[in-house]
A and B are shown apart, each in its own frame.
Chain A
Amino acid sequence: MLPSPIEVMQAFVSELPLLLENSVITLQEAFIGLFLGVSVGFCAAVLMDTFDILYKAFYPLLIITQTIPSVAIAPLLVLWFGYEMTPKIVLIVISTFFPVTVGLLDGFRSADKDAIGLLRSMGAGCLQIFRYIKFPSALPQLFSGLRIAAAYSVVGAVISEWLGGFGGLGVYMTRVKKAFAFDKMFAVIFLISAISLALMALVGFTEKKCMPYRNIDNKGEKI
C-alpha cells in the first residue's frame, strides 16, 4: 500500500515521458487561468478601490464565493462547459482572483495619505496618484496574493482534471488510481507539489526583482 521511496523514484523515472506530457497540459491550464485570474482580480480591486459603492456591494459577495469549495463547483462547470479546457480555466480564475483582489485592496488602502496629499499638491490626477503611490504601495501585498494564487492555480487545474478531461496530471492521477499503482500515484503527487513550489519560487524571484528597495536592511546597507 505504501511504496518505498525507491519504488516511487523508479516509477517517476519510468513514467517521466508521460508525466512530462501531462504536466505541459496542466501547466498550460494553470498559466492561462492564473493570468486571467490575476487580471480579473486586478480590475476588481481597482474598481472596488475607486468606487466605494462597488466595494460595499461586492466585497461580501466575494467572501461568499470563497466559502464554496472548488471541488463542489467543478462538476457543475464540467456540465456547463464540457471536457475541454474552458471549465478548468474558469475554476482556476475563480480560485485565483480572490487572493489577488484582497491583497491589492489592502495594499491600496495602506498607501500613505500624506504622500497622496503631496502628489495632489503638485497637481497630480487620479491616474498619476495610482501610478506613483497606490500601485507601488500595494506591490508587497500583490505579491503575497500572487504566491497563493500560483499555488491555487496548479491545484485547481488538477482538481478540475479529475472530474473529466483528456489529459493533464489530474487525468493521469485518476488513471493510475484505477490501476492501484501507488508508486505512480506518489510520483505524480510529488511532481505536483514540486511544480507548485517552483511557481511560488518564480513569484518570489520576480518580487525581489520588482522591489529592490526591500533588499535594504535597517542599517541602510544593500544586502
Chain B
Amino acid sequence: MNKLEVKNISKSFDGNRVLNDISIELNQGELVCLLGVSGGGKTTLFNIISGLLSPDNGQVLLDGKDITNQPGHTSYMLQKDLLLPYRTIEDNAALPLLLKGEKKKEARMQVSPLFEQFGLEGTQKKYPAQLSGGMRQRAALLRTYMFSKDVALLDEPFSALDTITKSSMHKWYLSVMEQIQLSTLFITHDIDEAILISDRIYLLSGSLGEITGEIIIKEPKPRRDDFNLTEEFLEYKRKILSLL
C-alpha cells in the first residue's frame, strides 16, 4: 500500500488556480522529489499535505487514513528555517519533544548526541543569529528529525549548502532514511540534486498547476559517486529540461 497518497488536490487563491487536480503518491521508504519553477505551488502543496492549509478539493491519505486538514501527522521542514531567535539551538531542536510534553532536561539529553551527526557540534548554546545559513538549515533539519514521524516533507532542505556539504548531507540523509524506515517527499530547484537522490521525480508545471511528468530514476541505491558524470545522468537531465 502507498504510504502517502495525495488525491485530486486543487487549490485557488483569490480565483487564481495554483494547484489543479494534483495526484501523487509516496511508497514506503521512497524518496520522491517535486521539481518545478518558482511560484509553481510546491510549498502550497506541502502546506496542504501537512494539514496547515485546507484544499478546495481532494484528499490526503496516510496509510489509507484521511488526514486532510489534520496537522501533526508528518514531519514538515518549512522553506524558511524558522528557528526561534529567542531559543538556543539545542532548545530549538528539542522543541518537538517539548511539545510532546517531555521535560526540558530530558529533551536536551536526547538531542545533544545528534549535534555531531548534523555537523552542529559546539552550537548547542548558541542562538540562531550566531549561525551561518547552512548551519541554520541543518539545525532546522535536526528539529524536523526530532519530530520523528515516518513521512517527512522537506521544502528545499539543502538549498543553503555548498556542493560539498550538500553531497555529504545527501549520503547521510539516505542512510538515516534507511535506518528509521522514513519516506520522504522533498522539494528542490536543483535538477542535479533531484536526479542524484530521488527514486522518482514529479514535475510540477507552474502555469497549469498540474503534474506534467513523472520520471523514475532506475539507478540503484546507494548510487556511485560518479553517477552525475554518466551518460544516463545527462539523459535524465535532458528529459527533465524538455518537460519543464
A-B contact count (CB 8 A): 64
Q: What's the Cα separation between A93 and B198 when bound, in Å?
A: 62
Contacts of B4 in A (CB 8 A): none
Chain A interface size range? 20 to 34
Contacts of A139 in B (CB 8 A): 86
Q: What's the Cα separation between A124 and B131 when bound, in Å?
A: 26
Judge if B180 is at the interface, Cβ distance under 8 Å: no
1/0 per residue B1-22: CB within 8 Å of A?
A: 0000000000000000000000
Chain B residues 69 to 123 lying within 8 A of chain A, measured CB to CB, are 71-72, 74, 76, 78, 80, 82, 84-87, 95-96, 98-99
**Residue pair A119, B99 in contact (C-beta under 8 Å):** yes
Chain A residues 132 to 187 lying within 8 A of chain B, measured CB to CB, are 132-133, 136-137, 139
**Residue pair A122, B85 in contact (C-beta under 8 Å):** no
Smallest beta-carbon distance A42→chain B, Å: 18
Q: What's the Cα separation between A121 and B77 when bound, in Å?
A: 9
Chain B residues 19 to 72 lying within 8 A of chain A, measured CB to CB, are 47, 50-52, 71-72
Interface size on B, residues (CB 8 A): 24
**Residue pair A121, B50 in contact (C-beta under 8 Å):** yes
Smallest beta-carbon distance B144→chain A, Å: 9
Taking beta carbons and an 8 Å cutoff, which residues of A are in contact with B? 112, 114-115, 117-124, 128, 132-133, 136-137, 139, 211-213, 216, 218, 220-222
**Complex A-B: 15 CB contacts under 8 Å:** A114-B80, A115-B84, A118-B82, A121-B76, A121-B78, A122-B72, A123-B71, A132-B95, A133-B84, A136-B84, A136-B86, A136-B87, A213-B85, A216-B130, A222-B130
Taking beta carbons and an 8 Å cutoff, which residues of B are in contact with A? 47, 50-52, 71-72, 74, 76, 78, 80, 82, 84-87, 95-96, 98-99, 127, 129-131, 147
